[in-house]
Amino acid sequence: MLDNLFSTFTIKGKTLRNRSVVAPMVMNLCNLDGTCTERFTAYHETKAKGGFGMIITEDFAVMPNGKGFIQVPGLWEDSQTDTFKEFTKRIHAQGAVLIAQIYHCGRQTSIQMIGEVPWAPSADPCPLMQEPVHEMTIDEIKQVVEAFGDCARRAEEAGFDGVELHGAHGYLLAQFMSPYSNQRTDEYGGAMENRIRFAEECIRNVRSKVTDDFIVGYRISADEHVSGGRTLEDTKTIVPYLERAGIDYVHVTAGCYGAIDALCPSMYTKHAWIADDAMEVKQVTKLPVISVGRYNDMRIADQVLGCGKADLIAFGRASLADPAAPNKAKEGRFEDIITCIGCEQGCIGGILPQGPGQCILNPFTANEYNTPYEVKAETPKKVMIVGAGPAGLEAAIEAAKSGHTVEVYEKRRWAGGQFRLGAVPPSKGEIASFIQWQLNQLKKLNVPVCFETEVTKDLVVEKASDVVVVATGAEPLIPASIPGIDLPHVVTAHDVLEGKALGGNRTVVIGGGSVGCETANYIASSHKAVTVVEMLEDVATDEQTGPRWQLLEDMEKHHVRILTETTVKEIKEGCVVLEGACNETLKADKVVIAVGSKPQNSLAEELIALGCNVKVIGDAAKAGLAGKAIREGFELGRSL
């Protein structure tokens, strides 16, 4: 099975046990001074144990002013080297080849992060960071070139098998290469040969400071996906120059900060979306090529390898969702793999505010250092779980693993609660794979899930459990103050997504949060006219940047009309009266309410009054997102 993926591969005399590679991902797990922590080590060690052939760590800053995130690792001075020696030993002990990605982020950082004006080839600010930048002098360019080499030397001293120069995603190496960010007129700007000079010098400096069998890789965005940026054709011209400068592999990715949705493609992007770019690069070089980008299933990776489009496949977020995916796939246990859904809430959503990266589906990720895989309950209990949403199911898994006797009750015919409804709109279907994963685990743990059974206080009394976990979720908020809200053509987003109500030929959705926008997108995808009315200045602001851009693009494709700073004054038969920035009266044969939700916890109140031992988790405690519900279920299940 998966013979392509599970075949060995040798780079520079180092043999990888298979062709799965962990893609570099900033997780903010190191100390503020860039030194190693147990949290950083345990996080990577778990992936090495999980069977990945090669691990490329997040980017080590080559200089303090090259940091883009607060707790990235650093090898910018000799004193940091020793702190990574134990790290490299532990990863090697698990059989993975280990590469340190190294970078300088140039203008894609902020003065608050590095304490000085960010450096760049030219004085143009990054469109995302929008901060003044300093045009580097020739002397400063030479300093960075030396810093790359010194950083690589330290990586070798620390025990890494190689380094990967981060020449992708619009960081300093890419800034020099691209006409999008380099307007210099000296020997580092203008013609392509000048724009790549900085990268060539960095590679040569690295090579001169490491031994011959040390691996030197290069990550490159095949296409920057911004107007005026580097294209695939440019990249194909450039790669042979990098090969001559001394690199050992090419890692083909996409995008820059101006194209975050290409840098880190969300659920709106198809799987293996830039495998063909890797294949094009393979045609211009003899070097091994790594492909990355929305490989969330080992079987897809195997097929791309089988087609010869790449030599190795890198898994970023898929390795956060399930660090043991290679081992499970090798054993044919696909039903046990947690599939990345491309939501970006835990990973990108974790690091952007400078916290640790996480995965909403896997509470272990980045918490391996203080979270044992299993805990055993001192006194096994009889546990009744009410609600088979993500919170209830996660609590059931952990409680059963801890040794409790668990039963789950769900009033509907199906599991997943509101999260399952979230899987209905276009491109969000993979959410359902997580619910299926939870059900698979419960089946293996022999935990019954009783569907179509609404739990009442009488049933609780009859079952006489030691603990009742109330995970009854949330219900839609209804803005009672809007005249006409009770009319028969007014329904909720939940009703539409559950199939209880259809969208009309002309639908008005009240509320432009992500639920309102996704529901509007869903209705509009079957060629219906839909308008979203939002009182705030913008819509879907509760989404992460990449998925938000892609959602808005999809809504535009489906001709969804968006009205902001507008409220609904009244709903009438056949129309909706608006006020605010738009004060039209819109024709509407269906009105969909999507203005938030409120906890559904009346059962909990009744049970507490009865004196039962009740624990309330997830949206039933406070309406939020699935990550919070899953985490609460996880923590409660192992602490009963």
Ligand X SMILES: Cc1cc2nc3c(=O)[nH]c(=O)nc-3n(C[C@H](O)[C@H](O)[C@H](O)COP(=O)(O)O)c2cc1C
Ligand Y SMILES: Cc1cc2nc3c(=O)[nH]c(=O)nc-3n(C[C@H](O)[C@H](O)[C@H](O)COP(=O)(O)OP(=O)(O)OC[C@H]3O[C@@H](n4cnc5c(N)ncnc54)[C@H](O)[C@@H]3O)c2cc1C
Question: Segment 549-608, which members bind ligand Y (CB under 6 A)?
Answer: 600, 603
Q: How far is CA 602 from CA 19, 244, 416, 478, 576, in A?
A: 52, 69, 20, 17, 33
* Shortest distance in whole angstroms from residue 319 CB to ligand Y: 20
* Shortest distance in whole angstroms from residue 382 CB to ligand X: 40
Contact between 387 and ligand Y by CB under 6 A: the answer reads yes
Which CB sits closer to ligand X, 160 or 315?
A: 315
Contact between 23 and ligand X by CB under 6 A: the answer reads yes
Q: What distance in Å separates the CA atoms of residue 386 and residue 457, rounded to the nearest whole number?
A: 11
The residue at minimum Cβ distance from ligand X is 316
Which CB sits closer to ligand X, 58 or 201?
A: 58
Contact between 421 and ligand Y by CB under 6 A: the answer reads yes
Which CB sits closer to ligand X, 9 or 295?
A: 295
For the record, the structure tokens of 639 come out as 């602490």
For the record, the structure tokens of 617 come out as 């988790």
- The listed partner (ligand X, ligand Y, none) that binds 525, CB under 5 to 8 Å by sort, is none
Q: Tell me, yes or no, if 369 is annotated catalytic.
A: no
Got the DSSP string for 113-153? HHSSPPEESSSPPPTTT----EEPPHHHHHHHHHHHHHHHH
The answer for residues whose C-beta is within 8 angstroms of residue 517's C-beta and 6 or more apart is 509, 532, 539, 540, 551, 552, 555, 560
Question: Segment 30-59, which members bind ligand X (CB under 6 A)?
Answer: 58-59
Contact between 406 and ligand Y by CB under 6 A: the answer reads no
Q: What distance in Å separates the CA atoms of residue 194 and residue 179, rounded to the nearest whole number?
A: 11
Contact between 11 and ligand Y by CB under 6 A: the answer reads no
The DSSP element (H or E) to which 417 belongs, if any, is helix 417-421
- The listed partner (ligand Y, ligand X, none) that binds 497, CB under 5 to 8 Å by sort, is ligand Y
Q: Where does residue 13 fall: left (phi above 0), alpha (psi -120 to 50 degrees), or beta otherwise?
A: left
CB 43 within 8 A of CB 52: no
* Residue from the set 410, 525, 601, 637 that interacts with ligand Y by CB under 6 A: 410
Q: How many CB atoms lie within 10 A of CB 191?
A: 9
Q: What distance in Å separates the CA atoms of residue 414 and residue 168, rounded to the nearest whole number?
A: 44
CA 151 vs. chain centroid, Å, equals: 28
* Residue from the set 106, 316, 323, 473 that interacts with ligand Y by CB under 6 A: 473
Out of 43, 103, 171, 522, which one is annotated catalytic? 171
* Shortest distance in whole angstroms from residue 98 CB to ligand X: 15
SS3 per residue for 572-613: ECCEEEEEECCCCEEECCEEEECCCEEECCHHHHHHHHHCCC
- The listed partner (ligand Y, ligand X, none) that binds 363, CB under 5 to 8 Å by sort, is none
The answer for residues whose C-beta is within 8 angstroms of residue 502's C-beta and 6 or more apart is 496, 590
- The listed partner (ligand X, ligand Y, none) that binds 20, CB under 5 to 8 Å by sort, is none
- The listed partner (ligand Y, ligand X, none) that binds 168, CB under 5 to 8 Å by sort, is ligand X
* Shortest distance in whole angstroms from residue 410 CB to ligand Y: 5
* Shortest distance in whole angstroms from residue 229 CB to ligand Y: 30
Question: Taking contact as CB under 6 A, which single stretch among the options 92-100, 280-288, 310-318, 412-420 is the one that binds ligand X?
Answer: 310-318
* Shortest distance in whole angstroms from residue 429 CB to ligand Y: 11
Which CB sits closer to ligand Y, 218 or 419?
A: 419
Got the DSSP string for 4-17? TTTS-EEETTEEES
The DSSP element (H or E) to which 517 belongs, if any, is helix 514-524
The answer for residues whose C-beta is within 8 angstroms of residue 557's C-beta and 6 or more apart is none
* CA end-to-end span of the chain: 40
Which CB sits closer to ligand X, 198 or 295?
A: 295
Which CB sits closer to ligand X, 316 or 513?
A: 316
Q: Nearest to residue 314, comparing CAs of 523, 103, 9?
A: 9
Residues 284-323, one symbol each (x = binds ligand Y by CB under 6 A, - = not), give: ----------------------------------------
* Shortest distance in whole angstroms from residue 578 CB to ligand Y: 24
Question: Taking contact as CB under 6 A, which single stretch among the options 88-96, 314-322, 534-542, 588-596 is the one that binds ligand X?
Answer: 314-322
Backbone φ and ψ of 461, nearest 5°: -65, -45
Q: Nearest to residue 181, comparing CAs of 118, 123, 116, 102?
A: 123
Question: Taking contact as CB under 6 A, which single stretch among the options 194-202, 309-317, 434-442, 466-474 is the one that binds ligand X?
Answer: 309-317
The answer for residues whose C-beta is within 8 angstroms of residue 194's C-beta and 6 or more apart is 184, 186, 187, 188
Question: Segment 59-98, which members bind ligand X (CB under 6 A)?
Answer: 59
Which CB sits closer to ligand X, 251 or 638?
A: 251
Question: Taking contact as CB under 6 A, which single stretch among the options 175-183, 365-373, 492-500, 505-513 is the one that binds ligand Y?
Answer: 492-500
Contact between 292 and ligand X by CB under 6 A: the answer reads yes
* Shortest distance in whole angstroms from residue 543 CB to ligand X: 15
CB 94 within 8 A of CB 45: yes
Question: Taking contact as CB under 6 A, which single stretch among the options 184-192, 347-355, 484-492, 606-614 is the one that binds ligand X?
Answer: 347-355
Report the catalytic residues: 171
Q: Which residues bind ligand Y (CB under 6 A)?
A: 343, 345, 360, 386-392, 409-412, 417-419, 421-422, 454-455, 471-474, 493-494, 497, 515, 600, 603, 618-620, 624-627, 629
Q: Which residues bind ligand X (CB under 6 A)?
A: 23-26, 58-59, 101, 166, 168-169, 219, 253, 264, 292-295, 315-318, 347-348, 351, 357
